[in-house]
Structure 1
Amino acid sequence: MTQAETPPMRRRDLLSLIGAAAGSSALLLAMTNLGHAQESDYAGPITLSGDPKGASVLILGAGLAGMVAALELRKAGYRVQVLEYNGRVGGRTWTIRGGDRFTELGGARQDCGFDHGLYLNPGPWRIPYHHRALLDYCKRLGVAMEPFIQVNANAYLHSKDAFGGQPQRYRTVQADFSGAVSEMLAKAVNADKLNALVSKEDTEVLLAALQDWGALDDSYAYKAGPYASERRGWGKPPGGGLSAEPIDSTPLRPADLLHSHLWRRLSAGLDYDYQTTLFQPVGGMDMIAKAFAREVGDLVRLSARVTAIAQDEGGVHVTWENTVSKTTQQSHADWCLCTIPLSVLSQIEMSVGAPMAAAIAAVPYSASVKIGLQFHRRFWETDEAIYGGISYTDLPVNMIGYPATGYFGSGKGVLLGAYAFGTYAFELESLSPAERIGRALAFGAQIHPQYPAEFDNGMAVAWHRVPSNLGCYGQWTDAARSSHYRDLCAIDGRILLAGEHASYIPAWQEGAVLSSLDAITRLHERVMKS
């Protein structure tokens, strides 16, 4: 269809476009169509009706998938036992506090020196509002929640190659980019350049929307003045008395802003997974694991490293090593729900058919490194008025996360000093914990020059070096999911799998919970039929 044949944009399409610019509804629709933004399909607590007549289930792994299964299966009348590699429950739902010790693959040991009440969540650290299953369990188990701050307009966007390496406030980049784009569109509308897309009757609507969204003046220009300053901040803010008059700030040059690529981070709060409101458990993410432990902790055998999984017509036989006593033991059950990460499971002897074995081997695990840094004071608040949220950078640390709790505290504070993925994560994983922390300090000082003088101690977790996980999360490709996903989730004899890797919400706790509920529902149906 030629441009002349293109019909004018309908009113509702125009308003959708404006809504996308201001709020991202079109982005959400596009992401859902592409399979990236998945609404949780949780419809409420499950009911496993019918008498299992004493059937037994052995659950491998006491992460959220395993704990959910243990709770629901015991409630349904099954005999349940859980084997967990670590000396704690929760899996990746993990919080590190002062006094904790962590030894990674290769033998490097870290002893956490954080002050009381301070912590690092090396795994999950936020929960979207639409992760209904996880939030429902938290509500039922009494886990207190508080808001997690994803977008903070006063945090920083930073590029080592832009603006002389000086970080820019998120609000200034957002305001200046929106203003520049709005001004260009307004000029195009006034020059009748969008006639093929916008009907004449909607031109005034579009101009009014652009003026409002972009903080344009009466001539549809974005420039220094009260409109722009109200969005990006003032050069000198309004005050009181004789020195009360504010001074306008000066917007960044559009060309400089465009070439800085800082605008790439403006969508951080628009993506479905990160839209307001997000939550975090009060006191650390492991409060969820502890709540499950209060319900089913008596079913869990800790420090149990699974070495072999066998099955026959009579049931499932699992060989495991007590990592404390170094003794080898066996556990038996009618059925087995395995939630061990595929990165580890692929190295365990396991008697399943070729389709499931191929599926287990088909999913690599993402590299990820998180580094927590404790400082002598909360300088990001006192010096820079940053309360929660995230600063983004193109340096290897990728982002700096500010605690969304303990505001205005006079003592020490812990930042997330790095959350690295991909190539940068592999590079950091190759270093010792002390070297990782040193890198985080050196890079972070380019954004916060207070780092060197204020640093106290730190913890660095590289997920490929966590023995029970060997990676952060299952990294499916479309091709692998098409070929292997259904085989991974199928019941193989008396064995079936669950975990975030067996979901369409990888890396999220919601994926683990929903996967577990689906698996035990199908298992219960099989038991009832047999």
Structure 2
Amino acid sequence: MKKTTITRRELLGWIGKTAGVAVMYQAMSSLSLAAESTFKPGFKLSKAPKGASILVLGAGVAGMTAAYELRKAGYKVRILEYNERAGGRCWTIRGGDSFTELGGETQHCKFEDGGYLNPGPWRIPYHHHGILHYCHEFGVKLEGFVQVNYNAMVHSTEAFGGKPKRYREVQADYQGHVGELLAKCVDQGSLDQSITPEDRLKLLESLRNWAGLDKSGIYRKSLESSLKRGFAVHAGGGLMPKAVQSDPIDFSALLQSDLWKTISQGQQNEHQTQIFQPVGGMDGVAKGFERQVKDLITYQAKVTKIQQDDKGVAVSYVDLNTGKERSATADYCVCTIPLSVLSQIPVNVSGKMQQGIRSVPYNAAVKFGLQFKRRFWEQDEAIYGGISYTDQPIRNISYPSDNFGSKGKGVLLGGYMWGAPNAFEFTSMTPAERVKKAVEMGAKIHPQYLEEFDSGIAVGWHRVPWTHGCCGVWTPETRETHYDNLCQIDGRMVLAGEHLSYLNAWQEGAILSALDATERLHKHIISAEVAA
């Protein structure tokens, strides 16, 4: 018998007809793919021309990647960095740290030892091969980051009286109800023209297993569904109560709640297991790079002007320690300054590049680090790592993936908002107001917030002096018009950073951009030497 197949488009259409538009939307989300890193190990530049020099602007991950590889090739390299530390957005705030944002507000972090906030990147996907390569090469110790915790919460202010549900309950019930609908279609012969009789039986069996259907093919209160979503009363020993099966959420109420939108997060390519974090904070990555190139970095150097001609590049900067104006020169320049800042600095580049520099906005984002008197999420609710989701502006709560069961105070990520309008709204508040709002919103998921809160810190990225935003924002139209122009070697300059990659807001994008830019610049320099 000839076996027929069903295409993705046909599958989506079938789901839409049988289970409704909401379910079809979820299926479309599950079928989408995120970009995987194109990093290839073994990157190596050929020998640099004798005496050739390159100035790198910015000691973030992109700048330090470029400097590291260029020096290995034999170039004379110097890095100018605005901050008194390396890393840029690869940044960790701990107890005792202070941070002054644009507008003059200063926050003093009061976290106890072991507690920290990563205001920028906070996780490393398994397929970001470039950053993992350098972590291994530089001895950056990694540990697991818990992205999906089925015991965490999903929450909507408009559903179920505003009370949160367990992630596992929503996922199990969503799969169960959808599985029941699909099983009925299969059982009633709706797919006889699309699948073989043998496949029909296997599909029915797989749906019952996947969805937790009972022997009748129904998703309802049963042993099968409770094994997926959890029991109302769990099994004990001795004369403890017997296990009691739990009641699934009504399908219509579940669909209308929109909570199903959050349960596919762990299925996204960049969120799939395994995900990593550096032990003790994301700035472990920055420190790993810094150990390789620290002698090349001039810290607290605020670039004020970039000029180039046919002989070289000259950069004016202010020494923030002394307030004095200084200059640095080189044959060529790799500029990793965020476009949001570079657009405010005089630089003589081509009209096309200048237009591109001024045409890429930066996204707004706010992150909250909240310290509590105890790790109540573990002690009261058995939530060890992972993320809870909410439709409130804070969007999510991420629980620490380390030091499980430790005594004393604990720090969690009390919210991560990005984009308009909420991130702009919260950025306009004072840090104290931001923290207060985050605590109020978090209390709707965890009532313990109000009694257990100790201290907090909130970073609004549009008020961070060295970036004025969290990452470059592209549209298909702006990429078509400006992306290639910004990536070109312009005279003796080339730009690099996460903003010049297809992995925006990821450190991997910064590394790939830096490697691509340095390789092209190196070839350009070699060609110029040969031509001369």
Please report the TM-score for the alignment, with normalisation by the length of structure 1: 0.94
The structural deviation recorded for 1:11 is 7.7
Q: Which residue is equivalent to 1:246?
A: 243
Between the aligned partners of 1:175 and 1:453, the Cα distance in structure 2 is: 32
Between the aligned partners of 2:525 and 2:507, the Cα distance in structure 1 is: 27
Q: 1:296 aligns with which of 284, 293, 296?
A: 293
After TM superposition, the structure 1 stretch with the greater mean CA deviation from structure 2, 92-101 or 38-47, is: 38-47
Provide structure 2 residue ranges, at least 5 long, that are not aligned to the other structure: 16-26
Between the aligned partners of 2:275 and 2:394, the Cα distance in structure 1 is: 23
Amino acid at match of 1:314: K
The structural deviation recorded for 1:8 is 7.7
Q: 1:10 aligns with which of 5, 13, 29?
A: 5
Amino acid at match of 1:499: G
Q: 2:369 aligns with which of 359, 369, 372?
A: 372
Contact 1:11 1:202 survives alignment (8 Å): no
Q: Which residue is equivalent to 2:493?
A: 495
Q: Which residue is equivalent to 2:20?
A: none
Amino acid at match of 1:368: A
Equivalence map 1:141-290=2 (5 Å): 141-290=138-287
Between the aligned partners of 1:30 and 1:182, the Cα distance in structure 2 is: 17
Q: For residues 447-488 of structure 1, what are the alpha-carbon distances to aligned partners after superposition, in whole Å with 9 as ceiling and x for unaligned?
A: 000001111111100000001000010010011111111111
Amino acid at match of 1:512: A
The runs of at least 4 aligned residues of structure 1 exceeding 4 Å deviation read 11-14, 26-30
1:417 and 2:414 equivalent? yes
1:31 and 2:11 equivalent? no
Between the aligned partners of 1:463 and 1:8, the Cα distance in structure 2 is: 55
Contact 2:29 2:264 survives alignment (8 Å): no
Q: For residues 355-397 of structure 1, what are the alpha-carbon distances to aligned partners after superposition, in whole Å with 9 as ceiling and x for unaligned?
A: 1111111211111000000001000000000000000000010
After TM superposition, the structure 1 stretch with the greater mean CA deviation from structure 2, 322-331 or 230-239, is: 322-331
1:511 and 2:515 equivalent? no
- Match of 1:406, SS? coil
Q: 1:392 aligns with which of 374, 389, 392?
A: 389
- Match of 1:241, SS? coil
Amino acid at match of 1:399: N
Query: Structure 1 residues 13 and 268 mapped into 2: Cα distance closer, same or farther (>3 Å)?
Result: closer
Contact 1:183 1:221 survives alignment (8 Å): yes
1:402 and 2:403 equivalent? no
Q: For residues 70-94 of structure 1, what are the alpha-carbon distances to aligned partners after superposition, in whole Å with 9 as ceiling and x for unaligned?
A: 1111111111110111111000000
Q: For residues 214-238 of structure 1, what are the alpha-carbon distances to aligned partners after superposition, in whole Å with 9 as ceiling and x for unaligned?
A: 0001100111111111110110000
Q: Which residue is equivalent to 1:521?
A: 519
- Match of 1:504, SS? coil
Contact 1:8 1:196 survives alignment (8 Å): no
Q: For residues 250-305 of structure 1, what are the alpha-carbon distances to aligned partners after superposition, in whole Å with 9 as ceiling and x for unaligned?
A: 11111110100000001101111111110000010001111111111111111111
Between the aligned partners of 2:320 and 2:450, the Cα distance in structure 1 is: 40
Between the aligned partners of 1:129 and 1:113, the Cα distance in structure 2 is: 32
Between the aligned partners of 2:240 and 2:342, the Cα distance in structure 1 is: 68
1:115 and 2:112 equivalent? yes
Number of aligned pairs?
Answer: 516
- Match of 1:219, SS? coil
Contact 1:374 1:412 survives alignment (8 Å): yes
- Match of 1:483, SS? helix
Q: Which residue is equivalent to 2:80?
A: 83
Contact 1:28 1:272 survives alignment (8 Å): no
Q: For residues 63-112 of structure 1, what are the alpha-carbon distances to aligned partners after superposition, in whole Å with 9 as ceiling and x for unaligned?
A: 00001111111111111110111111000000000111100010000011
Q: Which residue is equivalent to 2:437?
A: 439
Between the aligned partners of 2:482 and 2:270, the Cα distance in structure 1 is: 25
Amino acid at match of 2:80: L
Between the aligned partners of 2:432 and 2:7, the Cα distance in structure 1 is: 56
Contact 2:148 2:387 survives alignment (8 Å): yes
- Match of 1:269, SS? helix
Between the aligned partners of 2:395 and 2:497, the Cα distance in structure 1 is: 27
- Match of 1:208, SS? helix
Amino acid at match of 2:465: P
Between the aligned partners of 2:31 and 2:527, the Cα distance in structure 1 is: 42
Query: Structure 1 residues 488 and 29 mapped into 2: Cα distance closer, same or farther (>3 Å)?
Result: farther
Q: Which residue is equivalent to 2:311?
A: 314
- Match of 1:456, SS? strand
The structural deviation recorded for 1:50 is 2.3
Q: Which residue is equivalent to 1:56?
A: 53
Amino acid at match of 2:138: L
The structural deviation recorded for 1:193 is 2.6
Between the aligned partners of 1:453 and 1:342, the Cα distance in structure 2 is: 43
- Match of 2:367, SS? strand
Q: For residues 311-346 of structure 1, what are the alpha-carbon distances to aligned partners after superposition, in whole Å with 9 as ceiling and x for unaligned?
A: 011100101111221111111000000000011111
After TM superposition, the structure 1 stretch with the greater mean CA deviation from structure 2, 419-428 or 429-438, is: 419-428
**Identity, % of aligned pairs?**
53
Provide structure 1 residue ranges, at least 5 long, that are not aligned to the other structure: 1-6, 21-25
Amino acid at match of 2:520: R
Q: 2:463 aligns with which of 462, 465, 484?
A: 465
1:42 and 2:39 equivalent? yes
Q: 1:451 aligns with which of 449, 452, 459?
A: 449
Q: Which residue is equivalent to 1:483?
A: 481
Amino acid at match of 1:528: I
The structural deviation recorded for 1:51 is 3.4
Q: Which residue is equivalent to 2:351?
A: 354
Amino acid at match of 2:5: R
Between the aligned partners of 2:282 and 2:467, the Cα distance in structure 1 is: 18
Contact 1:50 1:528 survives alignment (8 Å): no
- Match of 1:314, SS? coil
- Match of 1:182, SS? helix
The Cα RMSD (Å) is: 2.1
Query: Structure 1 residues 247 and 339 mapped into 2: Cα distance closer, same or farther (>3 Å)?
Result: same
Amino acid at match of 1:218: K
Contact 1:8 1:195 survives alignment (8 Å): no
Q: For residues 197-220 of structure 1, what are the alpha-carbon distances to aligned partners after superposition, in whole Å with 9 as ceiling and x for unaligned?
A: 434342211111110110001100
Query: Structure 1 residues 349 and 11 mapped into 2: Cα distance closer, same or farther (>3 Å)?
Result: closer
Contact 2:366 2:426 survives alignment (8 Å): yes
Amino acid at match of 1:31: S
1:130 and 2:131 equivalent? no
Between the aligned partners of 2:417 and 2:8, the Cα distance in structure 1 is: 38
Contact 2:414 2:438 survives alignment (8 Å): yes
- Match of 1:374, SS? strand
Query: Structure 1 residues 515 and 383 mapped into 2: Cα distance closer, same or farther (>3 Å)?
Result: same
After TM superposition, the structure 1 stretch with the greater mean CA deviation from structure 2, 225-234 or 46-55, is: 46-55
- Match of 1:58, SS? strand
Please report the TM-score for the alignment, with normalisation by the length of structure 2: 0.94
Between the aligned partners of 1:525 and 1:385, the Cα distance in structure 2 is: 56
Amino acid at match of 2:52: A
Q: Which residue is equivalent to 1:3?
A: none
